[in-house]
Structure 1
Amino acid sequence: MTAITTTDPRAATKAALERFLTGRSATVSLRDVPGDDRTRRLPYVQVRLNGNGRDSRLNFEATIRVLVYARDDFDSQQLASELEARLLDTSDALIRSVSPGLSAMPSTDPDLHIPFSFFTVTVRTRPVALGG
């Protein structure tokens, strides 16, 4: 029997978000928001993993949290809502399907004191056969 794994669901989601934001000045990352108030580039889109697993040998899924930081809560909410809609329509070489979780919710980062909106989705990644 062939061993089966999958692509990192965070990396697959990040790649899709980068495609959606091509030509815009937004940054997409798996890391925390860098810089201080004077040097921080916004909007900043952070991809986080809330949990993952598989329910069969070939079906991998992960709950992904996407945080969208912007200069004000309106901009963060607008961009988060757009990215959520685009992700829900995604099927590509890495992602098989995406289903909704929590819709975009505005908030303020308690440490950075900057507005952000976040949403969650369930991302199902495509299986990858291991050689050998």
Structure 2
Amino acid sequence: MDLLGASRWFGADAGLASLYDLALLAGMYTMFGGFLHGAAMVATAGVSAAEFAESAGDWLRAVSGSLPYAAAFIDSGDYTTEVQSVDFNKAALDVIVRASVDQGIAPDLVAPIQELLARQQAEGHGKEAFDRIIESIRPAVTRPA
């Protein structure tokens, strides 16, 4: 029964279905963590979580449309870009972390992304796409040749 979503067959390997489920949950938890961080930030200005949720939901639906573009970078292994580079996003995360700390918000949820971007910069990949941070977290055996 598909009450909560569409069923999908992943083949005979039941472990793949379980891995897929965990991978989707990882995305969900980090998305909700980002929402909670944002809600904490705007709460310092008196904005309710409900009010923030209206903007956040619209924003997240809009930016989720970029997932196929991210996938294309990852699958090709070519992170060449003219926009949204590691350098650009690292500067943005630096501002977010600084603003969070200035507002008394612990940066625990956004600092790991900042660190992944810093690692890519240190390895000389600052001009490449944000999506390159996957290279800092996945094992070398799964990287494109």
TM-score (norm 1): 0.29
Q: Which has the larger radius of gyration?
A: 2
TM-score (norm 2): 0.28
Between structures 1 and 2, the one with greater helix share: 2
Report which structure shows greater RCO (CA 8 Å, sep ≥6): 1
